[in-house]
Amino acid sequence: MDFGALTAGGWAAGLNLWSATLVLGVAGRQDWATTPEILQRTDVLIIAAILYAFEFVVDKIPYVDNVWDVVSTVIRPVGGALLGIAVASEGGGSLLGGALTAGGLALTSHGAKATTRAAINMSPEPFSNIAASLTEDATSVGIVTLGLAYPAVAVGVVGVLTLVALLIIFTLWRFVRRLRKKWHERRNAGASPAAA
């Protein structure tokens, strides 16, 4: 089993499932790397390209990207798990292990992406949103490419990125909880005089 492709593909799927699928499929089809044959099929590549184009646009529109992230909370980890199964089956590895590894990494990177984008959308200007989306797209393609070219390096990078993602999720979740608490306090303070 190609552990570099498994971990890099899973982690990248949490940022952009469709770009990860495209890179793996095109790399195999062009004989740049050994990747699962199912990802090299023309119909899979066309569907992934269409969905990538859709996400490329949607992901740059403030608040619409948050809705898409909510929908993708199921799509990206499940897609990451399916990529993991495909990579594991190609290399004769454990299908369950491939699914859990890639799906778990996809869930972690998706969680960091979704919470970061929710925080970015608190800013009134759209440019930080576009910059974040382009950075995520480039990171997704870059990490899969790294996983195919230098698997051991990619595993290390994915490990570091996963720790950073968990820290981002934890920090932003605490921040959102504090904001929510302040909002409830203000709302309750505003309602008290009216009730009297």
- Residue 194 resides in a domain: no
Measured in residues, the chain has a length of 196
- Residue 109 resides in a domain: yes
C-alpha–C-alpha distance, residues 11 and 153, integer Å? 14
| pLDDT(113) > 50 | yes
pLDDT band, very low/low/confident/very high, at 39 (cuts 50, 70, 90): very high
The pLDDT tens digits of the residues spanning 54-93 come to: 999 999 888 898 899 999 999 999 999 999 999 999 878 8
Burial class (CB in 10 A: 0-12, 13-18, 19+), 95: middle
Identify the pLDDT of residue 24: 95
- Residue 115 resides in a domain: yes
- Residue 182 resides in a domain: no
Q: Which structural domain, as residue segments, surrounds residue 77?
A: 3-168
| pLDDT(180) > 80 | no
- Residue of 23, 20, 16, 21 lying closest to 117 (CA atoms): 16
Burial string for 97-118 (b: 16+ CB within 10 Å, else e) reads: ebbebbbbbbbbbbbbbbbbbb
- Residue 79 resides in a domain: yes
- Residue 190 resides in a domain: no
- Residue 185 resides in a domain: no
- Residue 133 resides in a domain: yes
State how far Cα 36 lies from the chain centre: 20
| pLDDT(193) > 60 | no
Identify the pLDDT of residue 192: 58
Identify the pLDDT of residue 196: 47
Structural domains of the chain, count = 1
pLDDT band, very low/low/confident/very high, at 154 (cuts 50, 70, 90): very high
CB 79 within 8 A of CB 106: yes
Identify the pLDDT of residue 74: 94
CB 2 within 8 A of CB 90: yes
Q: Is 93 helix (H, G, I), strand (E, B) or coil?
A: coil
Cβ neighbours around 162 below 10 Å, total: 18
